[in-house]
Amino acid sequence: MEPTLQHGNMVVLNRFSYLFSEPSIGDIVAFPYPQDPSEYYIKRIIAGPGDLVDLRHFSPPGQIVDLRHFRFYVNNEPLDDRFSTYPVLVSGDVVFPVLVPENMFFVLGDNRNGSVDSRWQSVGTIYASDMVGRVAIRIWPFNAFGSVDPR
């Protein structure tokens, strides 16, 4: 989840947030890794039920299309990618576009090129019921103590 969270950070989860409301786009959530439920992943929700997620080749304006760079689109609108600091170079192994099924969410790590997330069949889309909670506060390291919710 770099740059938002770094390896070794400790966070507090709000385990009650989804008892009273649905997960929201932009939430940072924890869920068990489907291939090894003893391991938990932390990712950001970028799309919800019924949303269409696409990954398209991208180049900055005025340049020819660079087949090495990608940009995410949700419902044909470019994803606000302010949380990712590098161009997306890794497309994963799912076939795009992806229509997010009912009660499921599409999640990405903020480190788009180093993240195993919904682009990969081993993770795929995540059921809301599998989300352990929303990341609320970073408690370690002390100098970074505070909310991780950028909204």
Give me the residue spans of the domains in the chain. Answer: 10-147
pLDDT for 1? 61
Q: What pTM value is reported for the model?
A: 0.87
Distance CA 80, CA 65 (A): 20
Q: What pLDDT sits at residue 99?
A: 98
Whether 35 and 21 have beta carbons less than 8 Å apart is answered as no
User: Could you tell me the CA-to-CA distances from 141 to 7, 9, 137, 138, 151 in Å, in that order?
Assistant: 11, 6, 11, 8, 21
pLDDT at 8 over 80: no
Quote the CA–CA distance of 40 and 149 in Å, as a whole number: 19
Q: Select the more confidently predicted residue: 145 or 111.
A: 111
pLDDT at 73 over 80: yes
Q: CATH assignment of 10-147?
A: 2.10.109.10
